[in-house]
Amino acid sequence: MLTDYHLHLRPDELNATVATYFTPANVERYREVAEERGIAELGVSEHVHRFRQALEVWRHPFWRENAVDDLDEYCRFVREETDLKLGIEMDFVPGAEDRTANLLEARDFDYVVGSVHFLRDEAVDMEEYGVWDPARPDRGAEQIWRSYFRTLGEAARSGLFDILAHPDLVKVWGPERPQPEGDLRRYYELAIEGIAESGIAVEVSTAGLRKRAGEIYPAPAFLEMCLETGAPVALSSDAHRPQEVGAEYEQALELLERLGVGELCVFERRARRLEPIGAGVR
């Protein structure tokens, strides 16, 4: 069985409103593409920062701009008006673990996708509030990668999340912000202990193929290290529009097959089981 658990029902722009996108008709568009591609199991994981309740966890200016909608209305819509699994994409905010747990535990999510988009107050994957600054000597790729993977390991170890999202997101910019030289396993190493100890599922995401990185998250060498610790895999596209559901899964499945992965995680009310991949994409 194929899954796509990291789905957004709308683009990231603020003018993509609930009224337009959180509708059964829009969900049907996602379902149709999924069906064409042989993906049976779909779940939605909207960005927490689009909801007012996120400000109970963190008051970053980017979140304050975005926190417009009601989280409980989103949960109600997904549960009552769709057949999608109910997830959320939650940032790891160091120091806010208790507040994060409170927000998550108050709702009956099927799974929580945990993401590292920020290193302290600075964004890894956005220009706005961006961490990348060539003018600052302490902001080279080396430092940013080290900080990113350390934080990723802490995110896993926090135990707050079921799935570790786009595990090497820091490469998102591709050649525009070159990765450090040499064998990158010295960075992956910084996260691997947290991944091993937590038993968190590792996301294999085709979103990286649509970005300047031009590569699946995580890189094969990192995925191999995760698999060696026994980490199970959650497969997703991080679609923000219907056409992106299951996008380029052929490449992801080829990678999984090459590394000997025959099962994917399926979640229900935050319990995990493994299902055989089976025949693959159409």
User: Residue 129 contacts by C-beta under 8 Å, 6 or more apart in sequence?
Assistant: 60, 61, 62, 118, 121, 122, 123
115 binds Zn ion (CB under 5 A): yes
Instruction: For residue 230, count CB atoms less than 10 angstroms from its CB and return exposed for 0-12, middle for 13-18, buried for 19 or more.
Output: exposed
Size of the site for Zn ion (CB under 5 A): 3
Shortest distance, CB of residue 161 to Zn ion, whole angstroms?
12
Sign of CA dihedral 8, 9, 15, 19: negative
Return the SS3 of 5.
strand
* CA-to-CA dists, residue 191 to 19, 54, 143, 178, 226, angstroms: 39, 26, 15, 20, 9
Binding span for Zn ion by CB under 5 A among 153-161, 171-179, 195-203, 235-243 = 235-243
User: Residue from 196, 238, 246, 256 that binds Zn ion (CB under 5 A)?
Assistant: 238
User: Residue 72 contacts by C-beta under 8 Å, 6 or more apart in sequence?
Assistant: 53, 107
Binding span for Zn ion by CB under 5 A among 9-17, 75-83, 221-229, 231-239 = 231-239
Peptide bond into 218 cis (omega under 30): yes
206 binds Zn ion (CB under 5 A): no
Shortest distance, CB of residue 249 to Zn ion, whole angstroms?
16
4 binds Zn ion (CB under 5 A): no
Closer residue to Zn ion (CB): 129 or 140: 129
Shortest distance, CB of residue 63 to Zn ion, whole angstroms?
14
Per the CB < 8 A criterion, the answer to whether 214 and 176 are in contact is no
User: For residues 53-92, which are near Zn ion according to CB under 5 A?
Assistant: 89
Shortest distance, CB of residue 114 to Zn ion, whole angstroms?
10
Closer residue to Zn ion (CB): 194 or 208: 208
Q: Which residues contribute to the site for Zn ion (CB under 5 A)?
A: 89, 115, 238
